Amino acid sequence: MSSTHIPILILGATGYIGGSVLSRLLAHSDAKSFEITALIRSVEKAECLRGFGVKTVVGSTDDVEKLETLASHAHIVFSVVSTDDLPAIQAADKQGYLKSYIILHSLVYGMASGPFVDLGIQNPFSMQIPGLIMAAFDRGHVGMFGKGLLIWPSVHIDDAANLYLILFDAVLANPEKVGHGREGYFFVENGEHTWYDLSKAIGGPFVKAGLSKDSEPTTLTDEELIKYTGSVEIGHKMGSNVRCHANCARGLGWKPTKTNKDMFDNLSLEVSALLNIVQAKQQKAST
Ligand SMILES: NC(=O)c1ccc[n+]([C@@H]2O[C@H](COP(=O)([O-])OP(=O)(O)OC[C@H]3O[C@@H](n4cnc5c(N)ncnc54)[C@H](OP(=O)(O)O)[C@@H]3O)[C@@H](O)[C@H]2O)c1
């Protein structure tokens, strides 16, 4: 590594959010001065990423020793892997000189795009909306959390990924100016929706595609919450009230461009993309 290069470690580079961050890092005007290393679980994906000039280490965040070594060589770590992986977070933090900047996502929507998606090495799908769509395929009718009255904030994947780069640029330009630690929490949202409105909007493309006769969502039972979210508790959490304002992000100059209208308008694309995957799997299983 040349002394003029900034060593950067990225965790979760093949993920929906992480891949969108990595593609932006590689397109950054100063990209030539970055030395990016990605910890990747798949040998094939690691090899593919090397073609983009990304150094790769094959392994998992479960290997805390490996992670500590990688983190100790990096000046900047993008951790876009599990938000609940405490040992992995501590492996960045152990030596006590870490400045942490925590990006707190709301519901991230839209299909990710870019070179890694095109090559099939990045997950293009988010969590909540695809989860509701897949559940609707299974039960033949769109479901919703509770009566659908509670509210969540949302943000488009491109706007969410752009914030990482805006924060990165701000920290590189003047770290003293950007709050970190307790002051370094950045909520991400550009609008709110009720779960009813979201489920109802998913119901529309379902009826159009002939997958359901009725677009009116029905409440997911406890058994269905276990089946589709893993537990009743997780299901209740997902259908809860979550409200925030992205004041700190906007204070950095972040200007999200996509709104809830984009989220609702593009649901049919996501329904057909997921339907294609389900049908291809069914066809493979039957041959
Ligand atoms: N998407 C949302 O709407 C949303 C909203 C709020 C919070 N979040 C949080 O943001 C984080 C990233 O979300 P995402 O949607 O980008 O998830 P994702 O598409 O599933 O990506 C997860 C990434 O982490 C990698 N990974 C998982 N476990 C790993 C391990 N043990 N060692 C090394 N790499 C590992 C995956 O690698 P593989 O390719 O090997 O699987 C993948 O690159 C998650 O913690 C999620 O809970 C997401």
- What per-residue confidence (pLDDT) applies to 96? 61
Residue nearest to atom 6 of ligand 1 (CA): 105
Domains and CATH numbers, the chain: 6-98 (3.40.50.720), 108-157+188-286 (3.90.25)
Query: Which atom of ligand 1 is nearest the CA belonging to 84?
Result: 45
Q: How far is the CA of 14 from the centre of ligand 1 (A)?
A: 8
Q: How far is the CA of 269 from the centre of ligand 1 (A)?
A: 22
The partner residues of 11 in beta bridges, in order of sequence, read 39, 79
pLDDT digits (tens, 9 = 90+) for 160-187: 999 999 999 999 999 999 999 889 999 9
Q: How far is the CA of 16 from the centre of ligand 1 (A)?
A: 7
Tokens of 143: 């479901």
pLDDT digits (tens, 9 = 90+) for 67-93: 999 999 999 999 999 766 666 666 685
Residues with CB under 6 Å of ligand 1 are 12-18, 39, 41-42, 60-62, 80-83, 105, 107-108, 123, 126-128
Mean pLDDT of 198-209: 94
- What per-residue confidence (pLDDT) applies to 93? 56
- What per-residue confidence (pLDDT) applies to 92? 87
Mutate to test the pocket of ligand 1, among 9, 11, 16 (most ligand atoms within 8 A of CB): 16
Query: Which atom of ligand 1 is nearest the CA belonging to 60?
Result: 32
Query: Which atom of ligand 1 is nearest the CA belonging to 126?
Result: 1
Mean pLDDT of 96-102: 83
How many Å apart are CA 145 and CA 239, to the nearest integer?
5
Q: How far is the CA of 88 from the centre of ligand 1 (A)?
A: 13
Q: How far is the CA of 208 from the centre of ligand 1 (A)?
A: 32
Q: How far is the CA of 210 from the centre of ligand 1 (A)?
A: 32
pLDDT digits (tens, 9 = 90+) for 222-276: 999 999 999 999 999 888 899 999 999 999 999 999 999 999 999 999 999 999 9
Residue nearest to atom 39 of ligand 1 (CA): 14
Residue nearest to atom 40 of ligand 1 (CA): 41
Mutate to test the pocket of ligand 1, among 9, 10, 17, 238 (most ligand atoms within 8 A of CB): 17
pLDDT digits (tens, 9 = 90+) for 1-19: 456 799 999 999 999 999 9
pLDDT of 63 higher than 70: yes
Q: How far is the CA of 285 from the centre of ligand 1 (A)?
A: 27
